[in-house]
Amino acid sequence: MIRTIATEEITKNIREMCIEANHYLSKDMEQALKNAVDIEQADLGKKILCQLQENLTIAREDMIPICQDTGMAVIFIEVGQDVHFEGMLLEDAINEGVRQGYLDGFLRKSVVGDPIVRENTKDNTPAVIHYSIVKGDQVKLILAPKGFGSENMSRVFMLKPADGIEGVKEAILNAVKDAGPNACPPMVVGVGVGGTFEKCALLAKQALTRSVQERSQIPYVKELEEEMLDKINSLGIGPGGLGGTVTALAVNINTYPTHIAGLPVAVNICCHVNRHVVREI
Amino acid sequence: MEKHITTPITAEVTRDLHAGDYVYISGIIYVARDAAHKRFMETLDQGDKLSFSLEDSVIYYMGPSPAREGRPIGSAGPTTASRMDKYAPRLLDLGQKAMIGKGRRTQEVIDAIVRNQAVYFAAVGGAGALLSKCIKKSELVCYGDLGAEAVLKLEVENFPVIVVIDSEGNNLYETAVMEYAKA
């Protein structure tokens, strides 16, 4: 059975999701930040983590965005193959939702229309949209507004198969060390391993949208996530990069098959304002 | 150590600030980030003066979210300072005394800090809602066409920052991390 969905519905949801994501952190992130206060050993680090708690309360109660960098809107849309869209072009409907959300929600417009000419588009469009076709007659929307303090510190490494898992560990640690205080730690580290040059970057971005409380289903990947979190938190970077034992809240790793000649690794770093909102229509 | 200071910030004040001090700033601070700094350089290249006096000034690297009605400003946390590294030494040599941002600085900036008895403060990144509460007034100075990147004059009260690089060149990002790093 074909199910018809009006693209107006997509616009309405994206609009609300932009506002929601920038004022309320998801439960998994809130819990991770709360736990961090107890774990942190440095006095200044603890003080910063307490300020982040207060910041979340003010954001929620006074409707002030958690961070002034309300991000470039990254949207994953999973479309059931039994869905038929009616109305304006889906891409336009999504961008219209972003436009309305950023204008009505008093969110910062941080997008320039051309990377070299750099004129602000004044409504935070266009979004970066990733489409996928899945089973069923539903549409799943994941919105992840991405700030660029941490995006700028993200890296892709084209490793050799011989570099193996040790090479992957080194790549992750080097990216985090380079990011240091610039990426607003405590950070969430999204890692993509495998695929091609662009696929591993996408895997890393998707990894950031996973719950920070859940580990990978693949046993060796779960172990790697835990080991890397431990190693990262031994670097001493700490909250705000001002020294401490909580540098990352989680390491989320997604994997994909790759070529016999390669081992691509992408490390997408996100600050503690790791925003993601999910809705199903 | 906790300290309270009021702008403008003179060398006498910066000499007494040390990496790791927790400082509350009150008074006037200016807001400028990437695009505004680029225009500052063009203005100076033409031999003109900036729209505000750099002498003993504080520049906050920040681009706020829009203010809701009845509020002076929206979310207002620091942006990454390294993008201003290219421009900062020239402004420090012209009298600017303090920078507020987040993240590492180049050796050229650290040298300019020492040479001019200046200071680099970090504000907590990603705490824009909290920091906005310390901003009492905001007015446009210039470059309104830049939107979130316009130059603003802010009146702040007990704005919390941490001294990262002091006038002697001590760098908290290096010392504090070493303290908590496990080999």
Q: What is the pLDDT of residues A43-97, one digit of tens each?
A: 999 999 999 999 999 999 999 999 999 999 999 999 999 999 999 999 999 999 9
* pLDDT at residue B1, as a whole number: 87
**Is there a contact between A242 and B129 if contact means CB atoms under 8 Å apart?**
no
pLDDT above 70 for B153: yes
What is the distance between the alpha carbons of residues B27 and B24, in angstroms, rounded to a whole number? 10
Q: Are residues A18 and A137 in the same domain?
A: yes
- B31 CB neighbours in chain A (<8 A) are none
Q: CB contact, 8 Å: A97 with chain B?
A: no
- Is A167 within the bounds of a domain? yes
Q: Are residues A74 and A193 in the same domain?
A: no
Q: Is A67 exposed, middle or buried (0-12, 13-18, 19+ CB in 10 A)?
A: buried
ipTM of the complex: 0.93
What is the distance between the alpha carbons of residues B61 and B55, in angstroms, rounded to a whole number? 17
Share of chain A above pLDDT 90, in %: 99
- Is A49 within the bounds of a domain? no
**Is there a contact between A67 and B77 if contact means CB atoms under 8 Å apart?**
yes
What is the distance between the alpha carbons of residues B125 and A233, in angstroms, rounded to a whole number? 19
The SS3 assignment for B73 reads: coil
**Block residue for tokens 């090479």:** A167
Q: Are residues A74 and A157 in the same domain?
A: no
Contact present, B21 and B162 (Cβ < 8 Å): yes
Q: Looking at the DSSP assignment, which residues form a beta bridge with residue A250?
A: A188
Contact present, A236 and A42 (Cβ < 8 Å): no
What is the distance between the alpha carbons of residues A145 and A98, in angstroms, rounded to a whole number? 10
Which one is catalytic: B37, B39, B102, B105? B37
- Is A73 within the bounds of a domain? yes
Strand order in the sheet with A128-134: A128-134, A72-80, A139-146, A277-280
pLDDT above 80 for B39: yes
The model's pTM = 0.94
**Is there a contact between B162 and A44 if contact means CB atoms under 8 Å apart?**
yes
pLDDT above 90 for A198: yes
Q: What is the count of structural domains for chain A?
A: 2
Looking only at the bridges linking them, the beta strands covering A187-195 and A248-258 are parallel
Measured over the CA atoms of residue A3, residue A12, residue A131 and residue A254, the dihedral's sign is negative
**Is there a contact between A182 and B164 if contact means CB atoms under 8 Å apart?**
no
Contact present, A139 and A10 (Cβ < 8 Å): yes
Q: Are residues A133 and A177 in the same domain?
A: no
Question: Which bin fits B65, alpha (ψ -120 to 50), beta or left (φ > 0)?
Answer: beta
Find the angle CA(A96)-CA(A77)-CA(A224) to the nearest 5 degrees: 130
Q: CB contact, 8 Å: A184 with chain B?
A: yes
* pLDDT at residue B182, as a whole number: 84
Q: How many CB atoms lie within 10 A of CB A76?
A: 20
- Is A135 within the bounds of a domain? yes
**Is there a contact between B64 and A273 if contact means CB atoms under 8 Å apart?**
no
- Is A47 within the bounds of a domain? no
Residues 36-55 of B with CB under 8 A from A: none
* pLDDT at residue A1, as a whole number: 87
Listing DSSP states for A239-255 in one string gives: GGGSS-S-SEEEEEEEE
- B129 CB neighbours in chain A (<8 A) are 55-56, 58-59, 62, 64-66
- Is A111 within the bounds of a domain? yes
Contact present, B134 and B29 (Cβ < 8 Å): no
Q: CB contact, 8 Å: A187 with chain B?
A: no
**Is there a contact between B125 and A245 if contact means CB atoms under 8 Å apart?**
no
pLDDT above 90 for A153: yes
Catalytic residue list contains B18 = no
Tokens of B16: 């007494």
Q: Are residues A227 and A266 in the same domain?
A: yes
Would you place residue B183 in the very low, low, confident or very high pLDDT band (cuts 50, 70, 90)?
low
Measured over the CA atoms of residue A50, residue A70, residue B136 and residue B56, the dihedral's sign is positive
Contact present, A261 and A161 (Cβ < 8 Å): yes
Amino acid symbol at A102: Y
Contact present, A134 and A81 (Cβ < 8 Å): yes
Amino acid symbol at A250: A
- Is A174 within the bounds of a domain? yes
Which residue of chain A has the CA closest to B125? Answer: A184
- The residues near A244 (Cβ < 8 Å, ≥ 6 apart) are A40, A41, A42, A44, A45, A46, A236, A237, A238, B176, B180
- Write out the residue range of the structural domain in which residue A267 sits: 149-274
Q: Are residues A132 and A159 in the same domain?
A: no
Among the three residues A121, A146, A171, which one is the final residue of a domain in this structure?
A146
Residues 91-120 of B with CB under 8 A from A: 102-104
Bond into A145 cis (ω within 30): no
For the segment A204-262, what is each residue's pLDDT rounded down to a tens digit?
999 999 999 999 999 999 999 999 999 999 999 999 999 999 999 999 999 999 999 99
Helices (H), B46-171: 88-93, 107-115, 128-132
Chain mean pLDDT for chain B:
96
What is the distance between the alpha carbons of residues B29 and B108, in angstroms, rounded to a whole number? 23
- Is A254 within the bounds of a domain? yes
* Domain annotation for chain B: domains and CATH numbers: 2-180 (3.20.130.10)
DSSP E strand stretches across A182-262: 187-195, 248-258
Q: Averaged over B79-100, what is the pLDDT?
A: 97
Contact present, B158 and B103 (Cβ < 8 Å): no
What is the distance between the alpha carbons of residues A265 and B81, in angstroms, rounded to a whole number? 28
pLDDT above 90 for A116: yes
Q: Are residues A73 and A100 in the same domain?
A: yes
